[in-house]
Amino acid sequence: MNREAAIPNLLTALDLYLARFDGPGIADVRAGIAKYRDVPLQDVTPSRIAATRHADAALQHMKASGESVLAEAIEAAMPYLAWGAYDPYPREEIGEKYAENHAAASVIGSRGHFKSQDFDLGLFVFGPDTVYRDHHHAAPELYAPMTGPNGWRFASGAPLVWRPAHEPVWNEAWALHAFKSGPVPFLCVYGWTRDVRIPARMIVEPDWADLDAAIAP
């Protein structure tokens, strides 16, 4: 499938995926998709980084768990996506494992296929048994995980609560969140609905070793 077919097809598939849900933030993110879906595609230079392999693995898990249609729409777009790291964090705080094993690809955004300066939507992945430590950002954010289970917390010192795939999470502006993948790489649709240029920040917590040690049920 060529880019002019694969990228709009991917956006439609992600929108249809989000249409399954009705929780907080879903309507905001779908409104952003509706707003930008008809703008002309801008040139994006495709790229892969080492961590993109986790997206390949996650797609295989999706296919094995009844999500072939969605996985194949993503797979068809893979040759055209620009995967890169998003870690505006001090390496000693975010940790080596996460830093080396995550990747994101923008579909709508300043460097996405559909250009936007105030809305971001794309795919985000990190490897198995990996913690994305406590952080927050100005942008309200939707994560819709297509793989699972994943352990989440939304308060300092709280234990991780494990949730299956296909349970979206909405983070209000500057709300703390940390999450961990289980044995399957974490792959989600992410949406940032405003204040997208303000970088995320870490929140240093004393119990990161406990999160590292937590095991998916």
Q: How far is the CB of 171 from Fe ion (least distance, A)?
A: 6
Report d(CA 162, CA 9) in Å as an integer: 31
Q: Please say whether the beta carbons of 131 and 98 come within 8 A.
A: yes
Among residue numbers 128 through 147, which ones bind Fe ion (CB under 5 A)? 141
Give the number of other CB atoms < 10 A from CB of residue 78: 18
In DSSP terms, 192 is beta-bridged to 120, 141
Report d(CA 139, CA 193) in Å as an integer: 6
Q: To which residue do tokens 């040690």 refer?
A: 213
Q: How far is the CB of 60 from Fe ion (least distance, A)?
A: 25
Q: Please say whether the beta carbons of 84 and 51 come within 8 A.
A: no
Total of chain residues touching Fe ion, rule CB under 5 A: 1
Report d(CA 211, CA 62) in Å as an integer: 25
Q: How far is the CB of 120 from Fe ion (least distance, A)?
A: 11
Among residue numbers 139 through 198, which ones bind Fe ion (CB under 5 A)? 141
Nearer Cβ to Fe ion, position 41 or 200? Answer: 200
Nearer Cβ to Fe ion, position 134 or 141? Answer: 141
Nearer Cβ to Fe ion, position 82 or 104? Answer: 104
Nearer Cβ to Fe ion, position 87 or 141? Answer: 141
Q: How far is the CB of 79 from Fe ion (least distance, A)?
A: 27
Q: Which residues of this protein are in contact with Fe ion, per CB under 5 A?
A: 141
